[in-house]
Chains A and B, each alone.
Chain A
Amino acid sequence: MYKYDQYDQRQVDTRVEEFRDQTRRRLSGELPEEKFRPLRLMNGLYLQLHAYMLRVAVPYGTLSGAQMHALADIAEKYDRGYGHFTTRQNIQYNWIKLEDAPEILADLAKVEMHAIQTSGNCIRNISSDHFAGAAADELIDPRPYAELMRQWSSFHPEFSYLPRKFKICVIASDTDRAAMRLHDIGIQIVRNDAGELGAAFYVGGGMGRTPMIAPCINDFVPLDRLITYAEACLRVYNRYGRRDNKYKARIKILVHELGAEEYTRQVEEEYAHMLEQGVEPPFAELERIKTYFADPPFESGLSSDVDRSDSDFALWVDRNTHQHKADGYVSAVISLKPVGGIPGDASVEQMHLMADLASEFSLDECRVMHTQNIVLPHVKIADLPALFARLDAAGLSTPNLDQIDDIIACPGLDYCSLANARSIPVAQKISERFAASGKGNELGQLKLKISGCINACGHHHAGHIGILGVDRKGTENYQLLLGGSEAEDTSLAKITGPGFDEDGIVAAVETVTDVYLAQRSDGERFLDTYRRIGMAPFKEALYD
């Protein structure tokens, strides 16, 4: 894992001092709210329906045991005993007092963490593959590149008042586990025919009210030009991104309105200019960062056999573990989606337990997934029964990775000032319904994603089944969407037709899964069947 040196630590400490001063000026009335707002947002502090919400950055989703313990301590000391893991691989606390915020940031700085640029119209926390450094199918660990970009993007003086928020994702596998093409910049580390590593840049993707899949604007940027190319992409956006309408201000609109070709031309022109400015860190800096991400000491000669006689355990292993690059290891997913629970929430006790398990079973590392679960990336297969027993005792052994009840849901109207409808109760009802009928077990991989408003924090556009909460004449109404994917086969879901009320949407989800069960061919996922048979049979079952 990356470790701060004196400079990284000083930067984070300085930010705490700066924010402490800004908060003091706000509380004294010297700084009016409209001036303070962008400043607090750049420190992850939102004003929500009931209180301030603080979003803490988890760069590329990676946490040590000590960091997870610290997140639990914050939940206990400053919040109501729980935290909420987000689709940006971060954690949010929903009940924060403004006057406590500087202290929380100071507590985070002690464990090399921060809330810098987790909100606001700036470059946000860099996300990555949650199985990075562990997955059998990756080309290389993408996190050193993400860390290089974290440092470059932190306190960036030119790009801190962008037209709109800016999200960057870095992956290094053909299997996309991070919704790469739905980011403002998605980067895939690739190898060219000459055997050299480089970065493919996908620019102008996003969800929100106008979902777009990012086009590839350069399929091979040399790795010692990564920052320079990103600077060029950002400068064109900062200068020409729309600022007249916040709903048209994301880079996807600029790329769309200019056309990918013209945007690319402008970027290449700026890139040629930027190459002369010497903005790129030396290659030695990337090499320095890489040393922190060297493989941990995996043991060799481990057995891959495990006693599967306990059927609950066997099901959990089948569903919640992922193939590891080292023999005798797997990555194990801790589901934060218990039946009837709040997707992504973890209690103080659960966070402490996950921290302990990371230390004991996973070489002191855990990861936040964009699907709001936690990964223990490096678990010996022989340790799985002991790990499962500990998880089971804490209610953390739900065997539902990528199943219909592994639901992504935004906080919705229960917390969020932007929401039109509640998301959490819908997620709870769906998981309860499919658990009660047992039908959930027949469905296989089915990604269900719920957003409580058009801003799409719950990724409904990218759900095999998506649900969008809207306000219809003062009552909550839910639209159903089908056919989205955030994976390497990225696609945007389409609306089935008129929306439903809360009970109606739960029934509608069951209806479309019934169509799938009746129509599927061998081995087809819900998404595959939808793509083969199209929308019509689903509409017919829903509305006729």
Chain B
Amino acid sequence: MTDASFTGLVRLRDDASSDAPAVTVDSFAEQSNAGAVRIEPGDDTRELLPHLGHVTRVEINFPSFTDGRGYSAAQILREAGYTGEIRAVGDVAVDQLAYMRRCGFDAFQPDKPMNEADVEAAFARWDHVYQKTTDARVPIWGLRHGLNDNAGADG
């Protein structure tokens, strides 16, 4: 494949990307006017929830892609109503994208650039899902029982 193109940042949002530097969860406690914050696997995401007013970007770091705490962190942010960007950073690859998106991630900045065609395939692959998560997709059980719009699944 000679025409493969690679990309550093994949972003599924229409709003402008903020370039505010991300602060750690610890320093965020002292400067809660920061526009971006970075969550490490050991951080308690729920401590951030009362202070997300100014935050336009939350980065969730994956030092290793096998450490799945970041998936719960993203879900917790979305469940709390956070609508800003959630960006997966670190050891992230195309094989994790579909699940990450289901947990509320809408931007991906892996250490190693991803093949764009693979990224597209990863997002297009799963026609259906079994679980209700924060991504508002109607699970298979919803389709089976006539809940074929998002409001129905939520109601």
Contact = CB atoms under 8 A, between A and B. Distances in A.
Interface of A: 5, 7-8, 10-11, 14, 17-18, 21-22, 35, 38-39, 121, 151-152, 154-162, 235, 238-239, 243, 273, 277-279, 281-282, 284-285, 288
B93 interface: yes
Given A5-B144, A7-B144, A161 B67 contact: yes
B65 interface: yes
Nearest to A5: B144
Contacts of B66: 38, 121, 161
A7 B140 contact: yes
A35 B65 CA distance: 9
A133 B131 CA distance: 27
Contact of B68 (A5, A10, A35, A162): A162
Interface stretch (B10-18, B21-29, B82-90, B120-128): B120-128
Tell me which of B125, B129, B131, B144 has the highest count of chain A C-beta atoms within 10 A of its own C-beta: B131
B145 A157 contact: no
A8 B145 CA distance: 15
Tell me which of A21, A39, A157, A282 has the highest count of chain B C-beta atoms within 10 A of its own C-beta: A157
Given A22-B95, A277-B79, A288-B144, A238 B132 contact: no
A281 B140 CA distance: 9
B113 interface: no
A157 B102 contact: yes
B108 interface: no
Given A8-B140, A10-B127, A35-B93, 19 more contacts: A7-B128, A11-B126, A35-B65, A38-B65, A151-B140, A155-B126, A155-B129, A155-B131, A157-B100, A157-B102, A157-B131, A157-B133, A158-B71, A158-B75, A158-B99, A158-B133, A161-B68, A281-B139, A282-B145
Interface residues of B, number: 37
B19 interface: no
Interface of B: 41, 65-69, 71-72, 75, 79, 93, 95, 98-100, 102-103, 121, 125-134, 139-141, 143-145, 147, 153-154
B121 A160 contact: no
Main secondary structure of the interface of B (DSSP, over half): loop
A127 B122 CA distance: 31
Given A10-B127, A157-B102, A243 B79 contact: no
Contacts of B98: 157
Nearest to A151: B130
B71 to A, nearest CB: 5
Contacts of B144: 5, 7, 285, 288
Contacts of A17: 125
Contacts of B121: 21
A157 B122 CA distance: 14
A364 to B, nearest CB: 25
A471 B32 CA distance: 56
A156 B121 CA distance: 19
Contact of A281 (B93, B128, B141): B141
A152 B67 contact: no
A282 B125 CA distance: 26
A243 B65 CA distance: 13
Nearest to B147: A282
A239 B141 contact: no
Given A151-B130, A278-B154, A282-B145, A158 B72 contact: yes
Given A17-B125, A155-B129, A277-B132, A238 B145 contact: no
B132 A278 contact: yes
